[in-house]
Amino acid sequence: MIPSELCTNTTVTAAKFVCSNMDVIEYAIAYRWALFKDEQGHNMLSPWKIIRNQTWKGIEIRDHFCPELPVYSYTKLYVCIDSFCQSGAYYQTCSVVKTLGDPNTFNKDILYDLNINSHFGNIIQAYKHSENIGEKLSELHDSEMDFAGQDVEIGGYILGKPDLPITCDGFVIDENFPTGGVVSVEAINGFIIEGSTMSIHWTGFEGSKDALQLGYTSDMAGYKYAIGSSPGASDVLGFTTVGLETSVVATDILLRAGQIYFVTVRAYNHRNKTVDVYSDGVIYDNSPPTVGIIQVESSLLYVVTSYEISVKWNEIEDNESGIRKIEIGIGSSNRSADIIPFQEFENYGLISTNQCIQDGHRYFAILKATNGAGLSSFTVSSPFVIDATPPVGGHIMDVLDLDSKVDVDFQTETNFIRASWLGFRDPHSHVIYYKIGLGTSYGNDDVMKLTNVGLHTSKAWALSFSQGVTYYSTVEACNGAGLCSTATSNGILIDNSAPVPGLVFVGEPGKYTNFISDRNTIHASWIGFEDPHSGIDHFDICLGSSIDTCDVMKSLNVQLASSIIKTKLNMSVGVDYFVSVTACNHVNVCTKRSSPSFTVDNTPPVVIDKPRVFSIHQDNTTSRQIISDPSFFKVFWKFRDSESPIIKTILTIHSNLDSHKPVDDIFISNEGEFVVQLTKNNLLRQGDIYIVQITSCNAASMCTSAVSEEFLVDSTPPQMGGFRSPLEYEIQNVTNKLYLNLSWYGFFDVETDIRSYYISVGYTFSETQLVDGYKIVPTTTTDFQQSQIVANMSDSIMNYLVLTIWAENNAGIMTSQAKVTTDILPNNYDRSNGNLLIQMHSCDTYFCEDDCRCDCTCGVVGRKCLSDDRNSCKNLTSKITPIIIVNVSVRTDDPELSVVGSSRCLGSHWAYESNKHVIRFEYSFGIKGAAIGLGVFNLSSENVWYDVGRRTEAFHCLLKTQLTHKTLYVAYVKAWTSLDEYAIFESDPVIIDHTPPVIHKKHFVLDSLLSCDHDVDYITSNDSISACWMGVFSEDESYIKTIMVSLGTSQNGM
C-alpha cells in the first residue's frame, strides 16, 4: 500500500483459494477484498472490490485499487479476502497491510484530533514541543479521533510548522444509539425444517449519517447475532460478530423439534453504542404429517360409477405445524399421480376426470398432506375400477316357446306371452342380475312390473291378453357397479281375425276402367285392404273369367305391393275378366276381393269427319282456307267407337311454319264441336298458317288423331295504293265507246296477296256515271298494274273525270276507295283522244264533308284534314229516313243471338229500300250511346267513316286494342243520296262476350236422390243415380245454350 493525498494506492496479492483437492483441483470462482481497521474484518474502511472469475496465470491472484479511506493511510490496516466456491461456500482470510511509504516523510502539516483525557492523550502531551516523536508516531496515527461523545475534551496535535492555518479532517459528536432494524429467519409459515442450520437476514438499522461524510462505507460499525429459545437469549448460539454483513447462515447448531427459537441481532455504531432487535419466533418441525386413511366414494366397493370421483380422508394430522393443505391426484399405480395431477381440496374431494380415465382400468387415489413447515406425506387408497357405463344392451325376443331363439311379432294365442333374451354383457363389473316386466307400450311395465329373476334368461306370463294390443317385454340388466341398462322387445300383437277387404281396380292406380287396350298386359291396383291388429303381411293376385276364380292367371304373391303390371296373358277381345286380390295378415288369416269386370278393346276410335275450321269472317275461294278473325273461330269433327266410349278429346292448334302454339292443348270430352276464343296475349299471328289437330281417346286409352286443312290468318286489308301516269283515253264516236288505258301502283298484301282490283269512273265524287265497280284480276305479281276499260257514252266527255280504285285480298277484305280527279288533255281538236292529268294541288272540284274528312280527290288518303268554310254537306237523316230504309245488322255466330265472341273483329251488313237513288255508303262501328267510332277507332288520329261505294257489307279488325268484354257495340251506315246529302243508320246492339259461363263457388253439383234436397255419398240402388246443379252455372252476357252431363268413376272422369 502506498499512501497518497487523494487515495491509498493498494495492491492485493494472494494465492488462489483451493475449494476442492479431489481428483482435479477446483479453485474459487470469484473473490472480493476490502480494507478493515481490525484483524477480524469487522470494522470496514473501504468498499468491497470484486474480482470476478478470470483465468489467472500461475497460482496467484492480483488486484489493484486506490480507495479513499476515512483514516490516515499510515494507520495500521488489514486486508480481508473472501473466496467463493462453485458449491456456494465462501471463506475469509485477513492479514495486516504493509505500508511501503516512509512514515517520517509524509506530510506533517496535519492537525490530529485527539481525546486529551485518553491514555495516549496524556502521553502525547509530553511531546507537544517536539517535531519528531519517534515511535509514538504510529500510536498518533492510531489515536486520531473520528467519533466522540459530548463530554470529550478535545485536543489537536500537529508535527510540522505550517505556514498557513490548517484545519483538522473533522470528527463526529454522536450520543445516539442505532435505530430501526428488522430481523427475519428464512422459514415456511413460521416453521423451519433444518435442525443444524438457520438462514438469518436483517435490514433497516440506521446510525449517524455523518459517518458517511467522513468517508466510512456505512453509518453502522457492525453487527452481532445470537440464537436463543426466547427473545434476546443466546442459549443456542452466543453473540457472533459478522461485521457489516446483513445476512448469515448459522451452522452447526442443534435445534429441538417443536421448540420455538428467536434470533437477536445487535447493531453497534462507530461509538460502539448498540441496539438489540429480535426476530419473530420460528418453530423447528422436522416431521411430515401422520399418514391417515383415504377412501374413494362412500362405500368400500372397488367400482366407481361416475367420472366424478369423490374422496374422503381421516386421521391425517400434524401436531407441530398443523396441516396446511391437502392435495389429491389419481394415478395408474400407487407411486405417482400420472393420470390426474394433484389438486388442492379442503374437507372433501370431488375430482372431475374429464374423460381421461377409461372404464375397466384400475386406478389409485393418492393424497398428499403438507404441514406448515412444507413437509409432505402421502396416503394411497385401495385400487378402484372405473365403471361408468351400464351393461351393453342385449336383445329381447318375443317367442312362441321358451326354448326358441326366433323372434315373432304376432300370435293368435291369447293366454300366454313368452320372452327370452341374450347378449347382455359387462366387461368391467359383469351382469349380476336381471329384471323383466311387461307393458302395452315401449319400455313400459304397466301389465307386469319389473321383477328380479336373477340370472335367468327367459320368462312366460299366463294371463288373459286382449286382441289387437301389442305387448312389450322389457329387461333390465344390472352390473356390479349398480348401473343398469334396459332393452325392450319390438312387441308381439294378438290377432285372430281376417283383414278388412278393400277395392280392386284395373287401369291406372286408384281409377277403375271397364276397358283395356292390351290383350297381353293388365295394370291392376288395389286400395283399402287393412288389418287393424297385425297388419297386412302380403297380397296374392290372380286373373279369372269370373269372380274369385283364377283360371286365366294363377295366384301370385306380390308382397306388399299395391299395384302390378302383368304381361303375357293372351286375353280375348270382348270377354269379361276379373282381377282377384287375396290379402293375408301376419298370422296368415286372409280375405279375398275381385275387381269389377273389364273387357279388352284394342282398336282406336274411327274418324268420320276430320276437323274443319269455321269462321264467320272467312274466304274459301282459294285453295287454302283463309280466316280473318284471329281471336274467334269454331272447329267441327266427328269420331266413332263401337267397342268402348270416347271419353277424352284433345284439341291442338299449332303453326305449320314453326312451333308456335297460341294456346296449350285443350282437353274436352266427347263433343263434336268447340269454339276457340282467344284474347290479346294469345291471338293467331297475322300471315301464319295453322292446322287444328283433334285427338280422340276411348275408354281403353286408344287414341286416334286427325288434322284439319291448313288455314291462313289475314285480318287486315291490303296496303293502299292509287292511280299514276300514264293515264290515256280514246273516244270512238261511231260506237260511242270510251276506252280508258289506266295505270296504278302501291297496292299489296303480304299475307294473302291481291285477288282483284275494282275501278269506277264518274264525273262527281260520289257518282259512277261511266263505270261502276269494274273488276280486274291482277296480271302481274308486282304492285304496278295496267288495264283498259271500255265504257258506253251517250254525251260528249266533260273536262274532267273522277277515277275511283280499291283492292281486295284473298281473304275478301277490301281497301278504302282511292279517288283522283283528272283533267282531260286532248291531243286533237275534236277531243277524241288524249291524256288524263291528275289534279295535284288545287282540289277545286270537291272538298270536305261536315266531319272534316278529306273526301277531296287530291287529299291524302286515309288522313284527316283541316276544316273548310265551303263545306256544305247536310245531314238529312230525319227527312230522308221515311224515303230510305236501311236495315243494318252486326254479324254474329248465331243469327238468333246478339252476342259476339271475337275480341278483335266486327262485321256488318245491310239492306235498303228506297224510292230515291243511293249513290254510295260509308260504315263505322262504336260503343252504343257513345260518339260514333268510340271503342273501335282512335277519334283523334283515325277516320271513323270508311267509304265502301255501293257495297252493303263491312269488316274491321282492331290491331292494337281489343273489344271490351261485356260491352254493347253497334254498327253505323251512312247512305248518300246526293253529293251533299246523307242519312245515318244504326244497328241493334250486340254484346261482347269473352268468357264461358260462371261456376259459383257457393253451389255444387249434388249426388242426390230424386228430391235433390241434399248431397249424398252412399246409395243403395245400383241402377240409377240423380244429379242436380241448381245455381251452379250462370251466364250474364247471353244465356246458357247447352248443358252436357257425364258419369264416371273419378272426378272429371267419364
- 968: confidence class by pLDDT, cuts 50, 70, 90: very high
> Is residue 847 predicted with pLDDT exceeding 60?
no
Burial of 1005 per CB tally in 10 Å (0-12, 13-18, 19+): middle
297, 310 contact by CB (below 8 A): yes
Tell me if residue 88 falls in helix, strand or coil: coil
**pLDDT given at position 979:** 76
**pLDDT tens, position by position, 651-678:** 999 988 888 889 999 998 888 889 898 8
Domain ranges of the chain: 2-96, 111-173, 179-284, 293-386, 395-494, 503-600, 606-713, 722-838, 874-992
Q: Residue 648: is it exposed, middle or buried by C-beta count within 10 angstroms (0-12/13-18/19+)?
A: middle
pLDDT of 208 higher than 70: yes
pLDDT level of residue 870 (50, 70, 90 thresholds): very low
**Dihedral through CA 912, CA 914, CA 916, CA 920, nearest 10?**
0
**Under CATH, what is the fold of the domain 874-992?**
Immunoglobulin-like (2.60.40)
- Can you tell me the mean pLDDT for 742-756? 91
Predicted confidence at residue 19, as pLDDT, reads 86
Provide the CATH number for the domain formed by 503-600 in this structure: 2.60.40.10
The pLDDT tens digits for 150-184 are 788 787 767 766 666 666 677 888 888 999 899 99
Q: What confidence score (pLDDT) does residue 105 get? A: 58
- In CATH terms, are 606-713 and 874-992 the same topology? yes
Q: Sort strands 90-96 and 78-84 into parallel, antiparallel or unpaired.
A: antiparallel
Local structure of residue 860 (DSSP, 8 states): P
Given CATH 2.60.40.10, say whether it is the number of domain 606-713: yes
Assess whether pLDDT exceeds 50 at residue 1028: yes
DSSP, collapsed to helix, strand or coil, labels residue 319 as coil
Lowest mean pLDDT among 47-61, 664-678, 822-836: 47-61
Are 539 and 526 contacting, i.e. CB atoms less than 8 angstroms apart? yes
Q: What is the mean pLDDT of residues 41-66?
A: 78
Buried residues in 868-883 as b, exposed as e (16+ CB within 10 A):
eeeeebeebeeebeee
Selected residue with higher pLDDT from 457 and 172? 457
- What's the Cα-to-Cα distance from 338 to each of 292, 327, 328, 342, rounded to whole Å? 22, 14, 12, 9
Which residue type does 909 have? Answer: H
Phi, psi of 137 (to 5 degrees): -65, -40
- Across the range 1003-1007, mean pLDDT stands at 83
Over range 271-298, report the average pLDDT: 85
Residue 400 and residue 411: Cα distance in Å, rounded? Answer: 8
Question: What pLDDT is stored for residue 862 in this prediction?
Answer: 45
pLDDT at 300: 44
pLDDT at 871: 45
CA distances from 844 to 824, 857, 987 (A): 15, 9, 36
Give the fold, CATH level 3, of 722-838. Immunoglobulin-like (2.60.40)
Cα separation of 394 and 872, whole Å? Answer: 116
What's the length of the chain?
1054
Q: Which CATH superfamily, name and number, covers 293-386?
A: Immunoglobulins (2.60.40.10)
pLDDT at 853 over 60: no
- Please state which of the four CATH numbers 1.10.630.10, 2.60.40.10, 2.160.10.10, 3.40.1710.10 is assigned to the domain occupying 179-284: 2.60.40.10
- Report the alpha-carbon distance of residue 666 to residue 671 in Å, rounded: 12
Whether 541 shows a pLDDT value over 60: the answer reads: yes
CATH code reported for the domain at 395-494: 2.60.40.10
Instruction: Write the single-letter amino acid at 731.
Output: I
In the structure, what pLDDT confidence band is assigned to residue 866 with cuts at 50, 70 and 90? Answer: very low
What lies within 8 Å, CB to CB, of 957 at 6+ separation is 628, 629, 630, 715, 716, 904, 905, 906
Tell me the residue type at 873.
C
Whole-prediction pTM:
0.52
Cell of 930: 257513345
In angstroms, the CA 848 to CA 859 distance is: 9
Contacts of residue 681, defined as CB under 8 A and 6 or more positions apart, other chains included, come to none
Decide: 560 and 536 in contact? Cβ < 8 Å.
Answer: yes
CATH class (in words) of the domain with range 2-96: mainly beta
Give tens-digit pLDDT for 82-117: 888 887 777 888 888 887 766 555 666 677 777 777
